[in-house]
Amino acid sequence: MDYLVIARKYRPQTFSEVAGQDMVSRTLANAITSNRVAHAYLFTGPRGVGKTSMARILAKALCCEKGPTATPCGECQHCRMITDSTHPDVAEIDAARYNSVDNIRELSETANFAPSMGRMRIFILDEVHMLSNAAWNALLKLLEEPPAHLRFIFATTEVDKVLPTVLSRCQRFDFRSIELDNIVKRLREVATKEGAQLSDAVLTRIARAAGGGMRDAQTLLDQLIAVSDGEIHEEDLNLLLGAARGDDLNAVTEALFAGKGGDAIGALDRIIAGGVAPSTFLEQLVDHIRLLLLIQTCGSTSPTVARLGTASPAAEAQAKATAPEKLLRTAQVLLASQQALRQGVDPRLQLELACVRIAHLGPVQDLDLLLRRLERLESATTPAASGGSAPRPR
């Protein structure tokens, strides 16, 4: 039995199904409707946000028996073959492997032939930034004066590596990271179809862990369903992400805010012994402090806080009991520790040093309050100094 992973099983098949890229979908659909389809497109953006899916949908829209149409049927022979990557006139090429000038020359020779089955010939080149300069130069002439039946769709995560001469010959579309709400909505739909039960808190954590990529979120959901027995709990997600439990995170932060560095490091030892990587726990601490600051600033029920997950009663209590200045200083210490990790410092050592620094912060005074006190002291001493009589000359 061949299992199809969720990211492929629920891949978008129409422009309207591509989450978070409404501007790109609308522009391409209008271009097809008004017969203004360009000969070359460049899709750029982070991984897993729909670039290749959009390229396939565009190819189906141009080759569909009912088309060119902005709403391909998905049922005709052309649509089915493009979905299965078997259409003879729609070639998907991995530019990371076929990046030499000989490969591009062979492509250029093939491109001059008329389509054998569809109304046009389409080349989808993924990871196109991997092409060598010689390969690009071999393709430039074809990009500048392509045959009427030819269309190029390029996709890349590193547009800065694409030659300016190529950019000027393409219509560029920048795909953005997908909003958290859109990922959660799509994951909820997929989970329902798969018969899996997930709470909103778990869905939100999956979406946050994906970092704006729908494919990463769906892959993580797929793993969670495999780990669980149908009903997914937050502990399953912690196990999969290698993250600490919420209670352990709260215990460390409470010890730090109370100035008990020894207790915090003791709890840290137990967390790391349980299999949590120090760098992962440091990221959790940063996210937790960020959550506390946003609860203080925006309120626990604000949409900004909701994007980070549901604010637990323990988090609300910590936010209420801790001064904003101390949270800011704590965030600065943790962010500096993350920066040190990029320079090769031992993660556990850096995390322990951060705990000691935070525990010894002590009460933090508001800088503006101190300045106002100094101003009052100066204003109180100035009249006394000016009111004294000047010394008489001898």
Contact 6/219 with Cβ under 8 angstroms?
A: yes
Give the E-state strand segments of the chain in sequence order: 40-44, 90-94, 121-126, 150-156, 171-174
Q: Return the number of other C-beta atoms located less than 10 Å from residue 131's C-beta.
A: 27
Query: In this predicted structure, what is the pLDDT of residue 370?
Result: 67
On whether the CB atoms of residues 194 and 6 are closer than 8 A, the answer is yes
What's the pLDDT at 230? 64
The per-residue pLDDT for 44 is 94
Q: What is the pLDDT of residue 334?
A: 92
Those residues whose C-beta lies under 8 Å from the C-beta of residue 36, and which sit 6 or more positions away, are: 30
**Token code pair at residue 380:** 């109180």
If you ran DSSP here, which 8-state letter would residue 384 be given? H
Predicted local distance difference test score (pLDDT) of residue 389? 52
Please give the Cα distance from 17 to 185 (Å, whole number).
12
State the residue for tokens 């078997």.
86
> Does the predicted model carry a pTM greater than 0.85?
no
3-state secondary structure (DSSP) of residue 86: coil
Helix (H, G, I), strand (E, B) or coil at 362: coil
Q: How far is CA 336 from the centre of its chain?
A: 22
Strand order in the sheet with 90-94: 90-94, 121-126, 150-156, 40-44, 171-174
Tell me the helices (H) and strands (E) count for the chain, helix number first. Answer: 19, 5
Do residues 119 and 56 lie in contact, with contact meaning Cβ atoms separated by under 8 Å?
no
- Count CB neighbours of 385 within 10 A: 7
3-state helix, strand and coil shares in percent for the chain, rounded to the nearest 5: 60, 5, 35
Q: Are 274 and 286 in contact (CB under 8 A)?
A: no
Q: How many CA atoms lie within 13 A of 109 on its CB side?
A: 5
Q: What is the pLDDT along the chain (394 residues), one digit of tens a residue?
A: 578 899 889 999 999 999 989 999 999 999 999 999 999 999 999 999 999 999 999 999 999 998 789 999 989 999 999 998 899 999 898 888 888 888 888 888 888 888 888 888 999 999 999 888 888 888 888 888 888 899 999 999 999 988 888 899 999 999 999 988 899 999 999 989 988 888 888 888 888 888 889 999 999 999 888 887 767 777 788 888 888 888 888 889 999 988 888 999 999 999 898 888 888 889 889 988 998 999 988 887 888 777 776 677 888 888 888 888 888 999 999 999 988 888 887 889 988 999 999 988 865 555 666 677 788 888 887 655 455 555 555 5
Kindly give, in sequence order, each residue whose CB lies less than 8 Å from that of residue 295, ignoring residues fewer than 6 positions away: 305, 311, 315, 316, 319
Between CA 18 and CA 130 the distance in angstroms is 26
Token representation of residue 241: 């992400």
Sketch out the chain's domains with CATH numbers.
6-174 (3.40.50.300), 180-241 (1.10.8.60), 246-359 (1.20.272.10)
- The two three-digit tokens of residue 189, written as one number: 């739909």
